[in-house]
């Protein structure tokens, strides 16, 4: 049966490259502190007013060009993000309009850091069933919207003003430094079509809702009346709440399990994997996963050092870099994997 193959990729980044040293201007942190805990050296943030769907447009255009197709060939959009432009609608139809596409279906996925592996299974199923022939699959995020920084802090961070913010504002924002140093704004796009050779071999996906509050946003939900309030803002409840130890423990346990599971389901062993591309949440997590699986350095790819955690965009960005640098070569067995809020996790095998 024909499966989904990747025939084009593209990425786009926020306009502002922000190093750890720059973050230290407005947060009680240091380059050493951030690198030791996450491996991150820099990240990108968009200019104020740029939404996730805006960031997705250049990534999609690059993927279309790379695939050598006409944008009119796209007959389905799948858009994975946890940071949509609006509470609703999702970014799918917004991207459809901005690309000037016809009234094709536009499906939005809210699977957070597992957006790519979940979305890949959806795209593969759509193509295998004949519901779509050419899919634009985008993972994109603008995390800067939940940064607890005042306008003066943003301006000082980005060298728009020489005036240092009040220490009280810096102290208030520093309460969230374990999260705010991790994220960046970026988009990754893939063009997927059906192919008789290679492509998606299969996916194994899981969820564990009992752990949902280990990583979630305790605001802007419809269990509240109104769903967002001044009190929520004052309490910083728009910033993700994270039990870092629980997330780390789950990732280093469940991701290797899913990888072994998907390999076994398709008569492979972990040693058969030529390249592992895991979600880029934390370099220490990925190093632990690599160690658990016994994979050598030349069989894993990490780029969180340069982009931070870009949630649904991390794996598409890695794929783009690996395709264009020659790290992904025809015939290789590639594994994609990740865990995110929900908890949601899984792994997928792909034959290049």
* Domain-wise residue ranges, the chain: 3-195, 199-351
Answer whether 3-195 and 199-351 agree in fold. yes
Output the pLDDT for position 347. Answer: 98
Q: At what angle do helices 91-98 and 52-67 cross, to 10 degrees?
A: 60
By CB atoms closer than 10 A (0-12, 13-18, 19+), residue 53 is buried
- Residue 255, SS3? helix
Confidence of residue 33 (pLDDT cuts 50, 70, 90): very high
Q: Which residues of 306-340 are buried (b: 16+ CB within 10 A; e: fewer)?
A: bbbbbbbbbbbbbbbbbbeeebbeeebbbbbbbbb
Span 253-265, pLDDT tens digits: 999 999 999 999 9
Measured distance CA(343)–CA(103) in Å, rounded: 34
Q: Where are the alpha helices (DSSP H) in the chain?
A: 20-23, 31-38, 52-67, 91-98, 115-129, 151-157, 167-174, 177-180, 230-234, 244-265, 283-293, 304-307, 314-325
- Residue 108, SS3? strand
pTM of model > 0.75: yes
Confidence of residue 1 (pLDDT cuts 50, 70, 90): low
Measured distance CA(227)–CA(250) in Å, rounded: 30
Residues linked to residue 299 through DSSP beta bridges, in sequence order:
none
Q: Please report the DSSP string for 321-341 in residue order.
A: HHHHHTSS-TT-EEEEEEEET
Is the Cβ–Cβ distance between 102 and 136 less than 8 Å? no
Q: Which CATH number fits domain 3-195: 1.20.1260.10, 3.30.70.930, 3.30.930.10, 3.40.47.10?
A: 3.40.47.10
Helices (H) and strands (E) in the chain, counts: 13, 14
| Whole-number average pLDDT of the chain | 97
Span 121-166, pLDDT tens digits: 999 999 999 999 999 999 999 999 999 999 999 999 999 999 999 9
Q: Please report the DSSP string for 112-158 in residue order.
A: GGGHHHHHHHHHHHHHHHTS-SEEEEEEEE-GGGG----HHHHHHHT
DSSP-assigned letter for residue 302 = -
Output the pLDDT for position 258. Answer: 98
Contact partners, residue 231, CB within 8 Å, separation at least 6 = none
* Residue numbers annotated as active site: 113, 279, 309
Output the pLDDT for position 2. Answer: 84
At 169, list the tokens: 């504002």
Short-list 163, 160, 121, 116, CA closest to 138 = 116
Percent of the chain whose pLDDT exceeds 90: 99
Q: Regarding the domain with residue range 199-351, which homologous superfamily does it belong to in the CATH classification?
A: Thiolase/Chalcone synthase (3.40.47.10)
């Amino acid at each position: 049966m024909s499966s989904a193959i990747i025939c084009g990729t593209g990425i786009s980044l926020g306009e502002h490259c922000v190093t750890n040293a720059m973050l230290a201007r407005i947060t009680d942190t240091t380059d050493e502190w951030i690198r030791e805990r996450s491996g991150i050296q820099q990240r990108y943030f968009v200019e104020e007013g740029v939404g996730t769907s805006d960031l997705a447009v250049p990534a999609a255009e690059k993927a279309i060009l790379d695939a050598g197709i006409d944008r009119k060939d796209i007959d389905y959009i799948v858009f994975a993000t946890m940071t949509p432009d609006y509470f609703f609608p999702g970014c799918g139809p917004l991207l459809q309009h901005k690309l000037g596409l016809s009234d094709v279906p536009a499906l939005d996925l809210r699977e957070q850091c597992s957006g790519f592996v979940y979305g890949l299974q959806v795209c593969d199923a759509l193509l295998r069933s004949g519901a779509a022939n050419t899919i634009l699959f985008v993972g994109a995020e603008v995390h800067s919207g939940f940064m607890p920084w005042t306008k003066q802090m943003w301006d000082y961070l980005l060298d728009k003003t020489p005036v240092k913010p009040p220490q009280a504002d810096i102290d208030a924002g520093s309460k969230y430094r374990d999260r705010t140093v991790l994220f960046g704004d970026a988009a990754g796009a893939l063009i997927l079509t059906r192919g008789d050779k290679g492509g998606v071999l299969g996916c194994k996906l899981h969820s564990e809702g009992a752990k949902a509050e280990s990583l979630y946003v305790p605001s802007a939900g419809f269990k509240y009346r109104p769903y967002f309030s001044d009190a929520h803002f004052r309490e910083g409840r728009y910033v993700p709440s994270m039990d870092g130890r629980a997330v780390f423990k789950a990732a280093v346990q469940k991701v290797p399990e899913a990888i072994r599971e998907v390999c076994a389901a398709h008569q492979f062993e972990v040693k058969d994997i030529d390249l592992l591309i895991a979600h880029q949440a934390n370099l220490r997590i990925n190093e632990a996963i690599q160690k658990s699986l016994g994979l050598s350095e030349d069989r894993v790819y990490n780029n969180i050092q340069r982009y931070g955690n870009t949630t649904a965009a991390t794996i598409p960005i890695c794929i783009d870099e690996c395709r264009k640098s020659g790290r992904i070569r025809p015939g290789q067995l590639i594994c994609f994997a990740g865990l995110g809020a929900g908890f949601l996790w899984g792994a997928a095998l792909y034959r290049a």
